[in-house]
Structure 1
């Protein structure tokens, strides 16, 4: 329906409004990640508008996650726009690594700052499944590239122990908290 750009910009404005209240109460800076589709990353006017909206943001540190649900049609434009975002200081991560169209080619095509390991790979920790080898490969490759690793969808102590033993940078999931409204977030934790 071609409304994704407007939805994303509206979401950014909402997050900015929420975090403007946060800045008065806390001093700690937090990251806020926004997902971007291939179509959005290839759209220079949209990327320029996003950069302009966030250029004076001081209440949170924005980062962007590439979703793998669409093919890139203009790889050169996508690379240029990702470079523009990174030149402004924004981190670029691959979301749901290994589940979509891009896969490992994104590591070659883009200068990624991080990778988010999809829950389907986390769910097989402690189970005999070929996906465990894919999980180990993602971790090994990300470590060799020197990029951040985020594990998402973590629900059990066994998963936390495995991820900690593999020195994963960030762990998120129901093990720590279910999603909560902005006003219920505890930034002191």
Structure 2
């Protein structure tokens, strides 16, 4: 935990907005009419830091909370990606699509996108490679011929299960310095940010 002497700005979002209600403008009495008198605009003061760690230091990317979360996510993604490539000759995007289909059964490409956080092009590329490797099948939806339905093959489900055990072990390794309560709290904090 940081002491007062080594405090730093945690995030540019670590400020509270000025919550004071707007004040009515005073009116000047000019004969029978009331006229609003506009005051010159005041320079808005910087709001008070929300955390004890924030200070008046200049912005630094390394201390920007969204950047730090992204840095952790990318580091984990690289480690997972290396294992996927070395063990199964698979990209992270391919694994995300395969894992989603193994869990959800037959779904359209459109349904895969939000579940994997991938865009249409990435889903299509991953699905093509997985189809070429016979890990998934592509079918046309019988009710709507415009929709392509993806589903795993038996081999695809087996590989998805193997990878699932592996990444769960990796997750335990990533979190080994945290107790159960810390893990639950971390999960809750991450959900509150989305």
TM bucket by the smaller chain? Answer: under 0.3
User: Quick check: which has more Rg, 1 or 2?
Assistant: 2
Greater share of residues in helix:
2
TM-score, with structure 1 as normaliser: 0.22
**TM-score scaled to structure 2, two decimals?**
0.22
Write 1 or 2 for the structure with the bigger share of strand.
1
